A and B are shown apart, each in its own frame.
Chain A
Amino acid sequence: MSKDNPTLIESATFPRHVIAEIQRAAKTGIYDIRGFGAKRDIPTFDDLVFLGASTSRYPLEGYREKCTTEVVLGNRFAKNPIHLKTPITIAGMSFGSLSAQAKESLGRGASLAGTSTTTGDGGMTPEERGHSKTLVYQYLPSRYGMNPDDLRRADAIEIVLGQGAKPGGGGMLLGQKISPRVAQMRNLPEGIDQRSACRHPDWTGPDDLQIKIQELREITNWEKPIYVKVGATRVFYDVTLAVKAGADVVVVDGMQGGTAATQDVFIEHVGIPTLPAVRMAVEALQEMDMHRKVQLIVSGGIRSGADVAKALALGADAVAIGTAALIALGDQSPEYDEDYKAIGSAAGFWDDYQQGNDPAGITTQDPELAKRLDPKLGGRRLANYLNVLTLELQTLARACGKSHVHNLEPEDMVALTMEAAAMAGVPLAGTEWIPGKGGM
């Protein structure tokens, strides 16, 4: 119903944004491609709350009693596992989708906060390697910029099988972002629409993946932890197969995970939310007696220390952030309100990362726009944000009486909705009822 005219009733089936999309499709003849992640309302970690300590258990004193946050990733087979100060890592984002300055900022911020950052499609840039104390090298289907020297320069290798924003889909980098440097790194002509393959070119299925992992270990002297990243769909089976193939670490990316450029229909309609994905992954690890032996990193819509704490309480070893990290650098900043308006958007709504005209100078290859992001300042902002998340995480863990954030457990939480209770496998608040699992 319109606020100005109560006799005007908006259709629930055809609200204005649906009508606008039909009109846009009819006009252009192409599906909507955009960045960011799923925008629809789905069950999230917000639907869970912690049961702080009281009579039956005691909390830890903030600022007085230790609540440690260190995490070790990849100690199953790798000679040199990763040691991080905080269980909040930076997810893979490519040079190409992001400017070199943005990649440098991510490296600087992660290093200041004592955590890792990750390359993306298109290979490793010297700026990124130089400013990242701990750098995870993504091994992607396109193999753009894939170089064994970089593989050996990395601290860990992440084999990407899928991404939460588009499980089953490949990447896109539209022509306007294929600058001479990006084209050279990817061995493609400038200005073409670059398609990244949706599956790896030299294997099919989990048995082959096991051999691929063996090859990567042989090439890197069994030193580097090998992560396997999947988009959240059939999480139980995917995690089981990744572990059987020999992964040191499994990364599960829920449907809220961000992307630089994907069809809107893919972002909003493929994959499952992060909330059930964590539980399913943990169940798979527990069934194999591999929980905490193969580490689990969860990503997709992580925004606050509360999200981190809830993911960890459900059994994750660490989380990864992407969209939130870009926002920390300056994405969606009201400082650029006029520029957002000029391209038909607004701070807080902008999602056309594929266009390359990012007012904040982050998701662009335009040298003038890219100059707007000072990598030192960007790095400082990201480090501040990561530190806040870690402090929030510790606050919640101490409230539950935990001396290490990994001591958080599902039993520390209840759900506010039946959906969240069923997805996360924790009881509905005020009951012992977990839908699908019995209780009262």
Chain B
Amino acid sequence: MTEINLDNKSVRELNEKLQSASSGDKFSVTNTGGKHAVSVGLISAVNVDINGHVGYYCAGMNQQAKIKINGNAGPGLAENMMSGEVRVTGNASQYAAATAHGGLLVIEGDASSRCGISMKGVNIVVGGNIGHMSAFMAQSGCLVVCGDAGDALGDSIYETKIYVRGKVKSLGADCIEKEMRDEHQKELKQLLKQSRMSYGVDEFRRYGSARKLYNFDIDQVDDY
């Protein structure tokens, strides 16, 4: 395990080291001090433990790496992640996993607004609640919420599947509750197991696209 202390190393030095590391290498990052762009652009299956709070875009565009943040994360956590796993033990600010194409993001606490905005294949599991406009224009992948969801969940959603255990304050345009079929239960079970959340799949409801806004129709203009 290599320790990198951000009190005496710059974010540039940290990222250079992590980006050039080999699969299986282990790192511990300390004294993060809310710094931005920590552990971004990683390209191999390294393990990174970040001890402390981080600012914007931590784990941005991650590929293969397994990153754990023991603290809270600022906006844009794991934005555009392609693969790998990112876990935050605390809360995450706005736009977590925005546009992310793959991998797994686990937020053990709450996620703020626009969690999973424009997500393109990532799986997100949130232990607590999520804020308004989450999964806005979400294209694919799954968003699992073990707590409650805020206003306008899944607004203008495409093919992402949303599973919510608690209450949904309101659904956004073209987002509806859908039947939980066997394949969905199986998928959810797997995601809960992977993210180490101990809830039963029967406690969740599924939401997704009504697909009414896929092609413009003047008679549905009030739905936008």
Contact = CB atoms under 8 A, between A and B. Distances in A.
B118 A148 contact: no
B55 interface: yes
A219 B137 CA distance: 26
B41 A143 contact: no
Nearest to B120: A187
Interface in A368-399: none
Contacts of B40: 215, 218-219
Give the secondary structure class of A's interface.
Answer: loop
B140 A187 contact: yes
A215 B56 contact: yes
Contact of B36 (A146, A193, A202, A211): A211
Interface in A181-217: 187-189, 191-193, 195, 197, 201-203, 208, 211-212, 214-215
B148 interface: no
Pick the most buried of B16, B37, B63: most chain A CB atoms within 10 A of its CB. B37
B46 interface: no
B218 interface: yes
B39 to A, nearest CB: 9
Contact of A143 (B12, B75, B118, B158): B118
A249 B156 CA distance: 34
A175 interface: yes
Interface residues of B, number: 42
Contact of B216 (A30, A197, A215): A30
B159 interface: yes
A147 B99 contact: no
A189 B215 CA distance: 11
A212 B95 contact: no
29 contacts: A146-B101, A147-B82, A147-B101, A148-B63, A151-B61, A187-B120, A188-B139, A189-B158, A192-B215, A195-B137, A201-B95, A201-B99, A201-B117, A202-B79, A202-B98, A202-B117, A203-B76, A211-B36, A211-B37, A211-B55, A211-B56, A211-B57, A214-B36, A214-B37, A215-B76, A219-B40, A219-B60, A219-B61, A221-B19
Query: Nearest 3 pairs between A and B by C-beta?
Result: A219-B41, A29-B218, A143-B99
